[in-house]
Structure 1
Amino acid sequence: MQRALRLLVLCLLALGATSAFAATEVRMAGDARVYGMFFENRNWTSWNATGTQTEDTLEIWERFRLRSDFVASEAVKFRLSTMVGDTPWGNGTFTAANPEVSIAVWEAYLQFKWPGCDFEVTAGLQPISLPHASIFYDSPILASKNNNKTFAALTVKAPLIDNRLTANAGFARLIDVNRTYDTTTTQVADEFDVYFLTLPIAFDGAKIVPWGMAGVVGRSSLSVNSIKYGMISGGNYLSPTGYNDNQSLYWWGGAMFEVTALDPISFYADVIYGQGAFNDHQRNRRQGWFIDGGVKYTGFDWATPMAGAWWSSGEDSGIRNGSERIPSITDYWGMGGSFLYQSGQEFTNDTMLANPIGSWGLSASLDNVSFMNKLSHVVTFAAAFGTNSAAGLRKAVLASGGNGRYLTMGKDLAIGEYLLGANIDSKYWIYEKSLALVMETGWAHYGNGNGSIWNTGTKRFTNKVEDAWKVAVGLKYWF
């Protein structure tokens, strides 16, 4: 009898829990990609960037992402997104025997509106990008790769003037190396925090977004090389290496402009300045500019022509006076899926990863080219030229230990060096808006490679330079 009563109580509790959560709606979406890729000379040679490994030119990649929204009401929801990152067949998760478990949390954030007003609060692992002209895909300073890269942050969105002015403010902790306890009883500054504010202003036929961001960089915080190299100067490698100050202030300010009043012609531009570590030794300072502009014409029904240009300040001839390139945290910038830059390709691991900072260039693209039902193309050509002093790059390469560490041949350009890149990317909808067959092709050329910069030690990198080629074919499914 007691056992039956216990069972009845458990059933009633389960029914109560079901009723309590019945109002929560679960919405799910995601995408899957499987593709084969031939990629030759991705570092302009058959080696890796440091010349210590030989590349494989043919791989089959797979990636999966699932986004789940737990919606209590239009005012409250929680998003949990999981993924298997791009992994080649035969490696990691896709190994035949004893595969590695590589399912990771990609997004995890609570989002709600404050009662009685339209203030929207988002807390947790979320995509964050600084304002950028939409023709250039994402920001050259802090980018989420069009919402595919996330940061742990707290953000608040507050409409100030209906449909005219909005304030977006936030805090993000990008890195905390030692978590709760430092490695010894001596406390070290191992956090990298940023604070940002954007003020989108909308007019009839125009949009302006002034913005600013400040970052506090702990002396021991730059543990991620891809972030570190975009933040420090070449002088940071001089003895005594590293920052002198326990914490260094970095800041950026800029504005994004978009004008659509002359439809079907639209204009785009960004102006950005940033600097950091100015209270440290002069060799550790970094500062610079990044400016871009573009135009798009939407009057044709068979294609959308686009053209763009950019300029970024480059290094001078010394490294003891710091760096003259703008600091950058994460960079996913480019136009028309350019083969030179990560800029909107359907697949990943398939670009030259060139650095737009420290260069100037031109880009032209035909987007949405279509002469057949369900089939479309993107055709893009870009040319980039260095703004960095060869002497400055040479000294930074020597101080950091060689090519492929702080600076990389063909990705960071000296004055006189240049890049050319072209790509034709095609998409055929097998099932409209759900399953597509995608083919991406690319060619790139690196010209006037400066051996005095890159040929350190016994490696003669510039003697091995060849054009890069890519062909990727695969399936992408949206659900």
Structure 2
Amino acid sequence: MKRITAALLFCLLVATATAQAATEVKMAGDFRAYGVFFENHNWTSWNAKGTQTEDTFEIWQRWRLRTDFVANEAVKFRLGIRVNDTPWGYGTYTAANPTVSIDVYQAYLAFKWPGSDVEITAGLQPFSMPEAPIFYDSPILAAKGSGDGATNSFAGLVVKAPIVTGVFEPIAGFSRLIDANRTYDITTTQVDDELDIYFLTLPVVLDGFTITPWGLAAVMGKASASAVTAIRNGMVSGGSFVAPNSANNQNGYWWGGLNLAVTVAEPFKFYADGIYGQGAMADRERSSRQGWFIDGGLEYTGFDWATPQLGAWWSSGEDSSLRNGSERIPSMAGYFGLGSSFLYPTSQEFSKNDMGVNPLGSWGLGASLKNISFMEKLTMLGTFTAAWGTNSPAGLRKAVLASSGNGNYLTMGKDLATGEYLIAANANAKYWVYEKTLAFIVEAGWAHYGNPNGSIWNTASRNFTGNVTDAWMTSFGVKYWF
């Protein structure tokens, strides 16, 4: 009922704003409906923990609406609402008794400080750490999420100061990602239940050359770690699951990175990133986490029929011990991958159609041919990806046992040990029924998981590796931009 009321209030707000001549209202969004045939999401027909059996065909629907209330060139407010990807017959799309699931995914004020070009945005907004565009988004903190466009937002304050316009425009920000208990803790004993971040980027743009040093710091309250499982798994070590598993009330984390783009030799473009991060270093040694992530890519934009891309990455992996913490770089909400790779959630037009592999603790290579166009209104893409593990099998085995099995902290075929590997290929096609408005889209992928290590992943109740099978996916549907 509350969500219905919120939606009605939103409609009223739009009508009121439209009536005011001083405020310009701009609306845009997209709609997509698509079917997905997918076998072996987790390399078996089960869920990650082996407790449920998957359906192989679902029809998904998603829509987003973004409205800008523009007072003048210096002040505007963005409101974004959506029903996120939901299958037909479930939730909002259930017959007779639907569940209301409209949610706000962007709500922020953007304005310029009077008499200057300093831009300030406050509220629920998308932002990412710097990353080579050839790899879609940041492996540490990303706004784009899976599927096309910015879908992840964070509540915070961001300031962009153009010290030298177009040349040096630093960005600083603060965000509270988690406040698990809100105003009152669950008992009369106060606990630290927030995850706060602070970041600074220093881009320098020169002719044919851009370099961006950046830094990110986080303070993770003890009670915030369990609030979002995906964030917890990206931040803590396998040793933190070992009893007694108490942690400091607040643990500090920091990352430092350097992003590089060289376009001086266009149509050749070169990109590279180097990132180091660490956290919980003042906690028990087994709870600490630190590591590296490095990538590089090459793109050629000289053809009018296609854009070739090559990319590679390396990430430090776990050693054989839990007692000295984790050797993988911490990550809060990362999305990373080349050319809509079937292994990773990247720039696919549709969601729910990738393997969701973790690039941390692996190294890999990718080759993509994007924007293939031999026929009017039709564009295609083809990508091949291969990845190998950099994690010690003994280290993963101990972490899986400490966290009570496959799928809780680490997942078979998503986190790779040395000796394990993945290869994947995908092909996508988009046909414009109406240019830049309505398109028919087909996306297909195949992936193989090699040398799965049974000593890591198998349990007394489930022979996971004995049931590993290649993954196959085909998705098809329509997307409408408005």
TM-score normalised according to structure 1 size: 0.95
* In 2, Cα distance between equivalents of 1:265 and 1:396: 43
How far the C-alpha of 1:93 sits from its partner, in A, is 0.3
Kindly provide the amino acid, as one letter, of the partner of residue 367 in structure 2: A
Other structure's SS at 1:380 match: strand
Where does residue 378 of structure 1 map in the other structure? 381
| 2:441 aligned residue (438, 442, 456) | 438
Other structure's SS at 2:224 match: coil
| 1:179 aligned residue (172, 179, 182) | 182
1:109 correspondence with 2:108: yes
Where does residue 131 of structure 1 map in the other structure? 130
Q: Report the RMSD for the aligned CA atoms in angstroms.
A: 1.1
Where does residue 6 of structure 1 map in the other structure? none
Deviates more, 1:159-168 or 1:58-67: 159-168
* In 1, Cα distance between equivalents of 2:73 and 2:346: 33
Say if 1:398 and 1:456, in contact at 8 Å, map to a contact too: no
Where does residue 87 of structure 1 map in the other structure? 86
How far the C-alpha of 1:162 sits from its partner, in A, is 2.2
Structure 1 segment 7-46 matched on structure 2, within 5 A: 21-46=20-45
How far the C-alpha of 1:302 sits from its partner, in A, is 0.9
Where does residue 6 of structure 2 map in the other structure? none
Kindly provide the amino acid, as one letter, of the partner of residue 205 in structure 2: A
* In 2, Cα distance between equivalents of 1:418 and 1:19: 56
Where does residue 53 of structure 2 map in the other structure? 54
* In 1, Cα distance between equivalents of 2:81 and 2:96: 23
1:291 correspondence with 2:291: no
Structure 1 residues 425-474: Cα deviation after superposition (integer angstroms, max 9, x where no partner): 00000000000000000000000000000002221000000000000000
* In 2, Cα distance between equivalents of 1:422 and 1:48: 22
| 1:227 aligned residue (228, 231, 235) | 231
Where does residue 121 of structure 1 map in the other structure? 120
How far the C-alpha of 1:161 sits from its partner, in A, is 1.4
Kindly provide the amino acid, as one letter, of the partner of residue 140 in structure 2: I
* In 2, Cα distance between equivalents of 1:79 and 1:164: 27
| 2:427 aligned residue (406, 417, 424) | 424
How far the C-alpha of 1:97 sits from its partner, in A, is 1.8
Structure 1 residues 378-411: Cα deviation after superposition (integer angstroms, max 9, x where no partner): 1000000000000000000000000011000000
Where does residue 7 of structure 1 map in the other structure? none
Aligned structure 1 segments of 4 or more residues deviating by more than 3 angstroms: 17-21
Structure 1 residues 96-155: Cα deviation after superposition (integer angstroms, max 9, x where no partner): 021000000010000000000011000000001000001000000000125221010100
* In 2, Cα distance between equivalents of 1:371 and 1:427: 12
Where does residue 328 of structure 2 map in the other structure? 325
1:241 correspondence with 2:240: no
Between the two proteins, what is the percent identity of the paired residues?
65
* In 2, Cα distance between equivalents of 1:74 and 1:28: 16
Kindly provide the amino acid, as one letter, of the partner of residue 63 in structure 1: R
* In 1, Cα distance between equivalents of 2:17 and 2:301: 51
1:387 correspondence with 2:386: no
Where does residue 214 of structure 1 map in the other structure? 217
Structure 1 residues 168-196: Cα deviation after superposition (integer angstroms, max 9, x where no partner): 00000000000001111111000000000
Kindly provide the amino acid, as one letter, of the partner of residue 78 in structure 2: R
Q: Unaligned stretches of 5+ in structure 2?
A: 1-15
1:365 correspondence with 2:368: yes
How far the C-alpha of 1:18 sits from its partner, in A, is 8.5
* In 1, Cα distance between equivalents of 2:245 and 2:52: 28
* In 2, Cα distance between equivalents of 1:465 and 1:410: 9
Summarize the Cα distance change of 1:416–1:19 in structure 2 as closer, same or farther, 3 Å threshold: closer
Say if 1:307 and 1:364, in contact at 8 Å, map to a contact too: yes
* In 1, Cα distance between equivalents of 2:165 and 2:441: 41
Where does residue 68 of structure 1 map in the other structure? 67
How far the C-alpha of 1:19 sits from its partner, in A, is 11
* In 1, Cα distance between equivalents of 2:469 and 2:81: 39
| 2:311 aligned residue (284, 308, 312) | 308
Kindly provide the amino acid, as one letter, of the partner of residue 431 in structure 1: Y
Summarize the Cα distance change of 1:20–1:31 in structure 2 as closer, same or farther, 3 Å threshold: closer
Structure 1 residues 262-308: Cα deviation after superposition (integer angstroms, max 9, x where no partner): 00100000100000000000000000000000000111111110000
Deviates more, 1:462-471 or 1:143-152: 143-152
Say if 2:17 and 2:25, in contact at 8 Å, map to a contact too: no
* In 2, Cα distance between equivalents of 1:19 and 1:456: 61
Say if 1:71 and 1:77, in contact at 8 Å, map to a contact too: yes
Structure 1 residues 181-235: Cα deviation after superposition (integer angstroms, max 9, x where no partner): 1111111000000000001110100111100000000011021001100000000
Higher Rg of the two aligned structures: 1
Say if 1:232 and 1:285, in contact at 8 Å, map to a contact too: yes
Structure 1 residues 29-87: Cα deviation after superposition (integer angstroms, max 9, x where no partner): 00000000100001000000000000000000000000000000010000001000100
Other structure's SS at 2:397 match: helix
Other structure's SS at 1:189 match: coil
Say if 1:332 and 1:342, in contact at 8 Å, map to a contact too: yes
Q: Unaligned stretches of 5+ in structure 1?
A: 1-16
